[in-house]
Amino acid sequence: MATPTKRKIENAPNPDGAKTIRGLDLPTFDGAGLHIGIVSARWNSVVCENLVAGAVEALKSCNVTDITTEYVAGSYEIPQAAQVMLESGKFDGIICIGCLIKGGTMHFEYISEAVTQGIMRLNLDYKRPVIYGILGCLNEEQAKERAGVDGAGHNSGKDWGITAVESCLLTKKYSK
């Protein structure tokens, strides 16, 4: 497939302002005809809503028009919800969106680990892209920067939308 334009999406800028080599180099993809599901947590909803909006915007920029968004309470509920959506057979891929912010207990560590393992399992078990859009942040500032809240940093949801299209196209290319 032709890759007409390329854009560089940088991670949140380095605090010292130094030029970074980190980031995601993304061509544009034609996702016309793809069916994409999004499952988002409502915990830390200011952050998650921005991420969902960024993912939808990116999907539309790739000509994806069939987008279904579902919500669950917290990130812990995301893998099971994504599994149910995959089982329906209606989706070429799923974008999982959540935001875990470290607190004073071990919740953050337990949920991060469980969700990360759960999402990878779905990828391999269902042979469909299940995009890891789970922020694991040490504080609210980090979360806002990675979701572009109030114009801060960069909205990672946009990267995940385009990543979903790229991975769905690759999967289709090699599907029997």
Edge-first strand listing for the sheet containing 66-72? 66-72, 35-41, 93-101, 130-137
Residue closer to ligand DLZ, measured from CB, 100 or 130: 100
Please report whether residue 74 would count as binding ligand DLZ according to CB under 6 A.
yes
The one-letter amino acid code at 44 reads N
Please report whether residue 100 would count as binding ligand DLZ according to CB under 6 A.
yes
Task: Reduce the DSSP state of residue 116 to 3 states and report it.
Answer: helix
Give the whole-angstrom CA distance, residue 152 versus residue 109. Answer: 26
Of 14-22, 74-82, 121-129, 161-169, the window that binds ligand DLZ (rule: CB under 6 A) is 74-82
66-72 and 35-41 beta bridge pairing: parallel
Nearest residue to 90 via CA among 71, 66, 74, 107? 66
Residue closer to ligand DLZ, measured from CB, 47 or 169: 47
Give the whole-angstrom CA distance, residue 76 versus residue 111. Answer: 6
Please report whether residue 73 would count as binding ligand DLZ according to CB under 6 A.
yes
Residue closer to ligand DLZ, measured from CB, 42 or 90: 42
Please report whether residue 98 would count as binding ligand DLZ according to CB under 6 A.
yes
The DSSP output letter for 13 is P
Residue 104 φ/ψ, nearest 5 degrees? -85, -5
- Active-site position among 53, 107, 116, 140: 107
Residue whose structure tokens are 């469980």: 114
Task: Reduce the DSSP state of residue 5 to 3 states and report it.
Answer: coil
Count residues near ligand DLZ (CB under 6 A). Answer: 15
Of 29-37, 38-46, 125-133, 165-173, the window that binds ligand DLZ (rule: CB under 6 A) is 38-46
Residue 107: active-site member: yes
Residue closer to ligand DLZ, measured from CB, 40 or 123: 40
Please report whether residue 44 would count as binding ligand DLZ according to CB under 6 A.
yes
Please report whether residue 95 would count as binding ligand DLZ according to CB under 6 A.
no
Give catalytic residues, as residue numbers.
107
What residue ranges bind ligand DLZ (CB under 6 A)? 41, 43-44, 73-77, 98-101, 103, 107, 111
